[in-house]
Structure 1
Amino acid sequence: MALSEEERIRVQARLDEARDALHRLELGQAEASIAYNGESVTYTQTNAGSLRKYVRDLEVQLGFRSMARARSRGVVFG
């Protein structure tokens, strides 16, 4: 689904905010909050994985990343 220019700008702003929050968590900040659609979500180190998923989902919407996950590789013992 192609985004309109207005939607693309809105999603890009959300992505920028989410990446910034993730960066703050990675630097050791105890918590980071982001706001969208009139709601605020606070992330901590313990739920940073949810924030990473949100960043990936936004990247998919903008076409920066495909939806397909990398396939795991089996281990071969020789």
Structure 2
Amino acid sequence: MALTEQERAVLLARLADAREALHQLEIGRSEVSLTYNGEAMSFAAADRGSLRQYIRDLEAQLGQRRSARARGRGVIFG
């Protein structure tokens, strides 16, 4: 399903905000909040993994990732 330009713009704005929120947590801010369409999401430093997953989900919706789920990499011993 292809995204409309409006849907793509909304997802890109959300992705930019989520990346900025992650940056704020990484530099020591104790909590960040994101709000879209009346829905608020708050992330604390301990929630970095959840915020990273949210970013991966947005990237997947935008076609920047093959899958929203992070995949493990196999190890090959020769």
Q: Shorter chain as normaliser: what TM range?
A: 0.7 to 0.9
C-alpha displacement of 1:37 = 1.9
Partner of 2:71: 70
Gapped regions of structure 2 (runs ≥ 5) = none
C-alpha displacement of 1:74 = 4.0
Query: Post-superposition, which runs of at least 4 consecutive aligned residues in structure 1 deviate over 2 A?
Result: 68-72
Bigger RCO (CA 8 Å, 6+ sep): 1
State yes or no: 1:4 paired with 2:4: yes
User: Residue 48 and residue 71 in structure 1: after superposition, are their counterparts in 2 closer, same or farther (change >3 A)?
Assistant: closer
| 1:30-72 C-alpha deviation (Å, 9 max, x unpaired) | 0111111212111001111111000000001111111164343
Q: CA RMSD in A?
A: 1.8
Q: Percent identity?
A: 48
Supply the AA of the counterpart residue of 1:56.
R
Structure 2 length-normalised TM: 0.86
Gapped regions of structure 1 (runs ≥ 5) = none
Structure 1 length-normalised TM: 0.86
Matches of 1:71 and 1:48 in 2, distance apart?
Answer: 19
Give 1 or 2 for the bigger CA radius of gyration: 1
